[in-house]
């Protein structure tokens, strides 16, 4: 059976067939097709070639992509996760062969009919050691009522439940562009139900508090520019309860929210010192540190350092020119302040 027959290219879809191009350029063009139909990812293949077909269509703002390909690995690292395609969830349905989706240190194998969900704003990978096929549905995060904390708790796990089969069939029907397809909003409501009823992943066995704390700090440092970064998200991504995370931080470094705020403001301070106003405005610095509201950022910064970001930057430059000038003060915000 041809790849086209397996793929079942949907009505009204556009497609890329890598068999039509020379092997030396297949991986590069597959990477471009992946960025076009899904999100930008880095593609590698052990044989330095990929034979496959990838096709996509839009349905009411959602992107449906069906692909069948020979073994390869698609990786979305932290840099790519911050760029184009962020702010979406993906729902993957196994069509043939076996593929693996990895996110937040978890791996789930997808065979035909298996379903999982993951977040394009977080690093992840999709791979297959044998020829595999997937339906991947990309939706905006605000389409689902389940928050990012909840999705993080079940990302890269196999969804289950009494509604799984109808959801899977409806997604396939929407992807195929069949006459009289199900209503997308109703299908997404059912997906939301599956996510909410799924059991969150929890670490099992002995817990190394030093390792978990280090992982939490690493995750926070990598996502400081994300306004949606919350203790709940960190706990879900690490597979621990919020209560456990709160207790861990309280025993070692203080309240989680205070730690996040302190690290954000320290990054802002460093950016203000290292950059000129024509390189990064105060508003740019605020966004880089997870504060979309520049006025709110300025209030927090003044509370922490005793001066506005603009004044801090100016005085820092004067201090560089005159080493005897007083050094900027350190963060002094209290545990009750906003993050």
- 2 has pLDDT over 90: no
pLDDT tier for residue 34 given thresholds of 50, 70 and 90: very high
Average pLDDT over residues 130-146: 95
Determine the pLDDT at residue 9. 45
Q: What percent of the chain has pLDDT over 70?
A: 88
Which residues is 43 bridged to in the sheet? 74
- 5 has pLDDT over 60: no
Residue 179 and residue 239 share a domain = no
The CATH code of the domain that includes 59 is: 2.60.120.10
Residue 260 and residue 188 share a domain = no
Q: What is the pLDDT of residues 146-162, one digit of tens each?
A: 888 899 989 999 999 88
Determine the pLDDT at residue 238. 87
Average pLDDT over residues 257-283: 90
- 266 has pLDDT over 80: yes
Residue 291 and residue 145 share a domain = no
Residue 327 within a domain: no
Residue 215 and residue 159 share a domain = no
Residue 238 and residue 111 share a domain = no
As given in the structure block, the two tokens for residue 86 are: 């962020």
Give the mean pLDDT of the chain: 87
Angle at 218 between CA 216 and CA 219, to 5 degrees: 65
Determine the pLDDT at residue 178. 75
Residue 251 and residue 143 share a domain = no
- 11 has pLDDT over 90: no
CA-CA distances (angstroms) from residue 237 to 105, 152, 283, 322? 8, 5, 29, 46
Which residues is 66 bridged to in the sheet? 55, 135
Residue 332 within a domain: no
Residue 186 and residue 222 share a domain = no
Determine the pLDDT at residue 331. 54
Following DSSP, what letter does each residue of 38-100 receive, concatenated? Answer: S---EEE-TTS---EEEEEEEETTEEEEEEEESSEEEEE-HHHHTSTT-SEEEEEEEEES-EE
Determine the pLDDT at residue 323. 55
- 123 has pLDDT over 50: yes
The CATH code of the domain that includes 279 is: 1.10.10.60
Residue 146 and residue 7 share a domain = yes
Contacts of 59 (CB under 8 A, 6+ apart): 174, 181, 184
- 55 has pLDDT over 50: yes
Q: What is the pLDDT of residues 66-112, one digit of tens each?
A: 999 999 999 999 899 989 999 999 999 999 999 999 999 889 999 99
- 13 has pLDDT over 90: no
Residue 220 and residue 134 share a domain = no
Q: What is the 3-state secondary structure (H, E, C) of 196-227?
A: HHCCCCCCCCCCCHHHHHHHHHHHHHHCCCCC
Which residue has better confidence, 202 or 38?
A: 38
Residue 136 and residue 41 share a domain = yes
Determine the pLDDT at residue 1. 34
Which residue has better confidence, 157 or 5?
A: 157
Residue 334 within a domain: no
Residue 178 and residue 305 share a domain = no
- Among the candidates 174, 197, 220, a domain finishes at 197
Phi-psi region of 180 (alpha: psi -120 to 50; beta: other; left: phi over 0): left
Total domains, the chain: 2
Residue 154 and residue 24 share a domain = yes
Per the structure, the complete domain to which residue 9 belongs is given by: 3-197
Neighbours of 237 (CB within 10 A): 25
Residue 335 within a domain: no
């Amino acid at each position: 059976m041809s790849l086209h027959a397996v793929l079942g290219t949907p009505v009204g879809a556009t497609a890329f067939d890598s068999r039509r191009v020379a092997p030396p350029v297949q991986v590069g063009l597959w990477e471009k097709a992946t960025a076009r139909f899904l999100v930008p990812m880095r593609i590698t293949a052990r044989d330095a070639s990929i034979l496959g077909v990838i096709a996509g269509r839009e349905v009411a703002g959602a992107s449906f992509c069906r692909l069948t390909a020979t073994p390869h690995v698609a990786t979305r690292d932290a840099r790519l996760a911050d760029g184009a395609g962020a702010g979406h969830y993906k729902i993957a349905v196994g069509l043939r062969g076996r593929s693996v989706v990895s996110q937040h240190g978890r791996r789930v194998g997808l065979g035909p009919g298996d379903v999982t969900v993951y977040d394009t704003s977080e690093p992840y990978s999709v791979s297959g050691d044998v020829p595999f096929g997937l339906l991947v549905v990309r939706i905006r995060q605000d389409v689902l009522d389940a928050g990012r904390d909840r999705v993080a708790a079940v990302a890269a796990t196999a969804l289950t439940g009494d509604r799984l089969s109808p959801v899977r069939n409806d997604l396939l029907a929407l992807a195929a562009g069949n006459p009289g397809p199900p209503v997308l909003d109703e299908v997404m409501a059912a997906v939301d139900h599956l996510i909410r009823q799924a059991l969150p992943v929890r670490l099992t066995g002995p817990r190394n508090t030093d390792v978990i704390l280090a992982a939490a700090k690493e995750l926070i440092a990598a996502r400081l520019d994300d306004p949606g970064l919350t203790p709940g998200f960190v706990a879900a991504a690490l597979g621990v309860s919020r209560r456990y995370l709160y207790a861990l931080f309280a025993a070692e470094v203080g309240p989680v929210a205070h730690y996040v705020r302190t690290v954000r403001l320290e990054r802002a301070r460093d950016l203000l010192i290292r950059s000129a106003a024509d390189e990064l405005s105060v508003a740019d610095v605020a966004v880089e540190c997870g504060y979309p509201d520049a006025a709110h950022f300025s209030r927090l910064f003044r509370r922490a350092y005793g001066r506005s970001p603009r004044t801090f930057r100016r005085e820092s430059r004067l201090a560089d020119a005159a080493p005897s000038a007083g050094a900027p003060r350190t963060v002094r915000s209290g545990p009750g302040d906003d993050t």
